[in-house]
Amino acid sequence: MSFTESLRHAFHVDPPGAATPDDTTRDIVDRVCRSIVKRGMTTPALMALEMSRPLNFVAAQAMHIVRPAAELVLDTESFKQFALFLEQRGSIEYLCNRLQQHAVGGVEAPLETPIEDEAGNDPVDSQ
The C-alpha angle with vertex 73 and arms to 92 and 26, in degrees rounded to 5, equals: 30
Nearest-Å Rg of the Cα atoms of the chain is 19
Residue 126: pLDDT over 50: no
Residue among 99, 78, 83, 109 at smallest CA distance from 36:
99
Q: Where are the beta strands (DSSP E) in 4-90?
A: none
Predicted pLDDT of residue 114: 39
Predicted pLDDT of residue 50: 92
Among 75-84, 93-102, 104-113, name the one with the lowest average pLDDT. Answer: 104-113
Predicted pLDDT of residue 76: 86
Q: What is the pTM of this model?
A: 0.68
Which is more confident, 109 or 100?
Answer: 100
